[in-house]
């Protein structure tokens, strides 16, 4: 099999060209002397195919003008399935021979998504065909080559019997993202890599628009904060972040900006901007932008110009430049004083916030209910707002809570004073707040704790409010936070680990009891995903009942791969549970998992198994698992999935690098000093900063005099 990957600047290695996005051209592709039995694909349909014995020459139709990085060729043995859009566009999904049926879901998503984007952008898909190809060995998740999109198998293929609900959503997400690029990126291309976010931020955001249209039952916008904004806030809270519009001076710098800032922060400020100007105005603006710059290039300022015209908002560029041209984001410190809200902004940094930056911030807040929604624009470092009238309408003191950043539309964090925080905790316990707002408060609280602006004792006490939580997105974020706290406490206060685990198990058991092990008739897509997340977390925490039940179901699965006792949604949980019982003297579970790994040809199943191997508490077994991940049986692109999820595994995998050691941070810097490629300099600096942050957090936790007593009480409730 032969597959090209020219983004960002590799077309020059294949043919002479001006290999920059602004130099668009028409391309005439010809493939010479290809074995006749192989499928040959390029951006455009085949024009003429000439056979010469066992070889063939394939001529393709001339392409429209496009950038060099979008040129593509794929050659190999493939099966395919196909269908047509209502306006005659041929859409095919290519896969390895024998896997064609696994492309049905992606084909369905592609057909519907093309129609949705055509209507939303008021511009049809611009080529006569669209091919989507599943590539077994592919370093990227996917690549949006014009008319010939390439994917990792796990991001395009879906097996009804053996893929999980999370796999289904992943396929829909990646397909919708890559097809959004056919407009944002391919039809209208950023002028230079500085504006990469116009490609990736919009493709990420538009994928949510498409998924919401195709699968409204997924409640995809409640997942947006957890999957996109939360991750963007996490990276952008580092001093070693970078602006969305980042200067790129050399081809070697480009790879580094394909990161969370361009994708997730980019998508998040788009969502914030849409909330500020309104959905209809925003759609009109995007349609005008696409029409105006089709077959050409654009810069960020071109987008602002259209928005100013369409929305009659002359200060759009001033507002948005504060978000795209400077790195970081604000934390709003909120106090209540004499029925007046006092709000102060400063830059949030995990290493310590400061007030040298200023943003123009679209803010929303409500008081007691969502009918009292107030919108405003904060332009100064600090503002006061009289809310006497809002409070006068509230007769029940329990409803006197105030929530800023309603539905987490804004890309910032909020730090409430103790009184406001206590009222929000009550509102969370009594489900007065929306799913997204409960999620946002939890995420902000954890970030403030990591930044040492909130004690771990206070955070854990606050987390009690989520004991009865059943919503997928909140549970997903809660489980991530549980994992991070468990790891930091293992370093800072290992003597408290059993109490911490007991408390976390108690937080999750109500949800486990609600979802149960087996699918329920008519249950939601989100409940199906929650089931797997909950039982995986309980297995990692060492919950004995979960581990025993999962092992029992796994044994049934070994005897019958189609048993209903081990639904794909809970297989990762079962595999992790199996590894909890593996020891150097009893490796039966490991051997059974490797047997399943070797028998399956489903990449999603292989990924689940790889992701469980290093969760074993026995260090010698972890060594063996890591060695397997680096063997010829595992594709290089997949080895990363074997990273440890247990403390023991982490210590083995990074034996020379203590998780929270400032000394090791210096060693890393010295080691990489003269060995670092330009494309990884920023990533290395970010990793070193994270180690520094963790080292400071560990010291703070060790000095938390109230923690031991609080954890013991929480564990026993």
285 neighbors 311 (Cβ within 8 angstroms): yes
Token pair 């006092």: residue: 342
User: Does 108 count as an annotated binding residue?
Assistant: no
Which residue reads 């063997």 in tokens? 631
Q: Name 91's Cβ contacts closer than 8 Å, sequence gap at least 6.
A: 82, 83, 84, 85, 107, 110, 111, 114, 129, 130, 131, 132
* Residue 656: exposure state from Cβ atoms within 10 A (0-12, 13-18, ≥19): exposed
In angstroms, the Cα distances linking 264 to 226, 261, 411, 695 are: 11, 6, 11, 27
- What backbone phi and psi angles, to 5 degrees, belong to 473? -65, -35
Q: What is the residue-wise DSSP string for 575-595?
A: HHHHHHT-BTTB-HHHHHHHH
**Residue 142, helix vs strand vs coil:** strand
- Distance (Å, whole) CA 42 – CA 56: 15
**What is the distance between the alpha carbons of residues 509 and 502, in angstroms, rounded to a whole number?**
11
d(C-alpha 200, C-alpha 7), whole Å: 13
Please state at what angle helix 544-559 crosses helix 525-540, rounded to 10 degrees: 110
Question: DSSP 3-state assignment of 414?
Answer: strand
For residues 699 and 696, give the distance between their C-alpha atoms in angstroms, rounded to a whole number: 5
Euclidean distance between CA atoms 419 and 401, whole angstroms:
9
Asked whether 314 and 308 are in contact (CB, 8 A), the reply is yes
Give the span between the Cα atoms of 446 and 182, in whole angstroms.
38
- CA atoms within 13 A of residue 427's CA, in its CB half-sphere: 27
**Other residues' Cβ atoms within 10 Å of the Cβ of residue 609:** 22
Written in H, E and C, the secondary structure of 299-321 is: CHHHHHHHHHHHHCCCCHHHHHH
Q: Bridge-partner residues for 92, per DSSP?
A: 82, 131
Q: Which two tokens stand for residue 442?
A: 């939890």
* 177 annotated as ligand-binding: yes
Lookup: tokens for 45: 């349909």
- Rounded (10°) angle between helices 456-463 and 707-715: 20
Q: Is 178 a residue of the active site?
A: yes
- In eight-state DSSP terms, residue 103 is G
Look at phi and psi of residue 346 and say left if phi exceeds 0, alpha if psi is from -120 to 50, else beta: beta
In 399-506, DSSP assigns E strands to 402-404, 413-416
Q: Are 692 and 351 in contact (CB under 8 A)?
A: yes
Query: What gap in Å lies between CA 88 and CA 639, rounded to an integer?
Result: 41
Distance CA 716, CA 1 (A): 59
Distance between CA atoms of 182 and 210, rounded to whole angstroms?
Answer: 14
Catalytic residue among 178, 469, 486, 549: 178
- Provide the token pair at 95: 């896969």
* H-helix segments, 541-645: 544-559, 568-580, 588-599, 603-613, 619-629
Per the annotation, does 227 bind a ligand? no
Torsion angle of C-alpha atoms 288, 293, 299, 302, degrees rounded to 10: -40
Catalytic residue set: 178
Binding site as annotated, residues: 177, 181, 200
Binding site as annotated, residues for Zn(2+): 177, 181, 200
């Amino acid at each position: 099999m032969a597959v090209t990957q020219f983004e960002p600047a590799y077309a020059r290695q294949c043919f002479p060209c001006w290999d920059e996005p602004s130099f668009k051209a028409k391309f005439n592709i010809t493939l010479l002397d290809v074995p006749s039995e192989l499928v040959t694909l390029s951006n455009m349909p085949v024009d003429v195919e000439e056979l010469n014995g066992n070889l063939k020459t394939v001529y393709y139709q001339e392409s429209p003008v496009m950038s060099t990085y979008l040129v593509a060729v794929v050659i190999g043995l493939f099966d395919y399935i196909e269908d047509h859009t209502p306006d005659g566009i041929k859409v095919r999904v290519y896969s390895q021979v024998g896997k064609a049926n696994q492309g049905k879901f992606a084909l369905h998503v592609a057909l519907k998504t093309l129609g949705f984007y055509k209507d939303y952008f008021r511009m049809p898909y611009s080529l006569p065909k669209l091919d989507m190809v599943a590539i077994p060995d592919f370093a990227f998740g996917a690549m949006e080559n014009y008319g010939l999109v390439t994917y990792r198998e796990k991001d395009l293929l879906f097996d009804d019997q053996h893929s999980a609900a999370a796999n289904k959503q992943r396929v829909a997400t990646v397909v919708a993202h890559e097809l959004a690029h056919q407009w944002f990126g391919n039809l209208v291309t950023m002028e230079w890599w500085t504006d990469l976010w116009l490609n990736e931020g919009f493709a990420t955001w538009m994928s949510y628009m498409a998924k919401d249209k195709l699968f409204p039952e997924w409640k995809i916008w409640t997942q947006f904060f957890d999957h996109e904004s939360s991750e963007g806030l996490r990276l952008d809270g580092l001093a070693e972040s970078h602006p969305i519009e980042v200067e790129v001076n050399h081809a070697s710098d480009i790879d580094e900006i394909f990161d969370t800032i361009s994708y997730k922060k980019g998508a998040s400020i788009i969502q914030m901007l849409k909330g500020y100007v309104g959905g209809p105005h925003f759609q009109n603006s995007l349609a005008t932008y696409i029409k105006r710059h089709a077959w050409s290039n654009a810069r960020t300022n071109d987008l602002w110009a259209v928005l100013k015209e369409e929305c009659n908002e002359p200060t759009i560029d001033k507002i948005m430049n504060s978000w795209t041209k400077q790195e970081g984001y604000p934390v709003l410190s909120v106090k209540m004083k004499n029925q007046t809200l006092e709000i102060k902004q400063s830059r949030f940094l995990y290493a310590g916030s400061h007030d040298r930056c200023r943003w123009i911030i679209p803010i929303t807040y409500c008081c007691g209910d969502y009918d009292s929604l107030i919108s405003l624009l904060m332009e100064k470092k600090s503002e006061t707002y009289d809310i006497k009238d809002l409070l006068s309408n509230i007769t029940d003191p329990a409803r006197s809570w105030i929530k800023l950043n309603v539905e987490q539309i804004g890309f910032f964090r909020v730090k409430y004073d103790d009184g406001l925080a206590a009222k929000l905790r009550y509102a969370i316990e009594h489900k007065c707040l929306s799913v997204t707002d409960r999620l946002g408060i939890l995420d902000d609280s954890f970030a403030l704790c990591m930044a040492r602006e909130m004690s771990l004792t206070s955070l854990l006490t606050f987390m009690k409010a989520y004991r009865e939580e059943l919503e997928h997105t909140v549970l997903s974020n809660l489980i991530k936070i549980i994992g991070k706290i468990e790891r930091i406490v293992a370093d800072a206060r290992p003597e408290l680990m059993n109490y911490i685990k007991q408390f976390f198990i108690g937080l999750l058991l109500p949800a486990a009891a609600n979802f149960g092990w087996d699918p329920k008739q008519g249950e939601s897509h989100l409940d199906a995903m929650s089931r797997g997340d909950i039982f995986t977390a309980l297995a990692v925490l060492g919950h004995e009942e979960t581990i025993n039940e999962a092992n029992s179901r796994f044994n049934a699965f070994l005897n019958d791969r189609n048993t209903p006792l081990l639904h794909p949604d809970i297989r990762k949980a079962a595999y992790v549970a199996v590894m909890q019982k593996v020891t150097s003297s009893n490796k039966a579970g490991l051997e059974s998992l490797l047997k399943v790994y070797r028998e399956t040809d489903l990449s999603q199943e292989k990924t689940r198994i790889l992701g469980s191997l290093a969760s074993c508490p026995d260090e010698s077994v972890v060594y063996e698992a890591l060695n397997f991940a680096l063997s010829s049986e595992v594709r290089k692109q997949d080895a990363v999935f074997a990273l440890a999820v247990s403390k023991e595994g982490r210590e083995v995998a990074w034996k020379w690098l203590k998780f929270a050691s400032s000394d090791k941070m210096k060693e890393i810097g010295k080691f990489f000093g003269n060995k670092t490629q330009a494309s990884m300099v920023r990533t290395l600096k970010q990793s070193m900063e994270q180690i520094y942050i963790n080292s400071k957090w560990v010291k703070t936790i060790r000095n938390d005099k109230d923690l031991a007593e609080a954890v013991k009480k929480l564990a026993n409730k």
